[in-house]
Structure 1
Amino acid sequence: MEIIISLIEYSDEIHVPDNEWSDPRIARLRDLCNLSIVYINDVYSFEKELNEQNGVLERMLVNTVAYHSLREGITIAAA
């Protein structure tokens, strides 16, 4: 995410001072952006990853949809 933010800053000709980048609120915003990307990727890649594991949900070790479905005992749709 850091590289994407830097590219946006560069392409839009914006300069954000270092003291603003180190602000805890900005750090939190970056963390939330990273999590959003992970969650969105896991939702969109779920079917492909499940097929790669021959439909065995328990083999999907790093997908948050599978993780929540297994951990909470809920359906894939609910996860």
Structure 2
Amino acid sequence: WEYGYEKVPKGLTNSYAYAELAGAQGPVVSHDIILGVVLFAPGCTYPSHAHKGITESYVCLSGAVSENHQGVYVPGSLILN
């Protein structure tokens, strides 16, 4: 697990980690896609953000996720960012 930031955003210390499975730095090397797993602690608030030139999508694997107060996503939900 990694933090993924040189400077961890406020509120994410000990609340967030990720592992890259496929991508430039993952065990499956790809320059076309990045696939990983993100772990959020209960009650974690992840700051709004965007990545230039890419579209993110998430699948909730466990627990529940609320995004931008648009509802609660349960396991199996697809979230597009």
TM-score range, shorter chain: under 0.3
Report the structure, 1 or 2, having the larger helix content. 1
After TM superposition, the score normalised by the length of structure 1 is 0.21
Structure whose CA Rg is larger: 1
TM-score (norm 2): 0.21
Q: Which has the higher strand share?
A: 2
Structure ranking higher on relative contact order (CA contacts 8 Å, 6+ apart) = 2
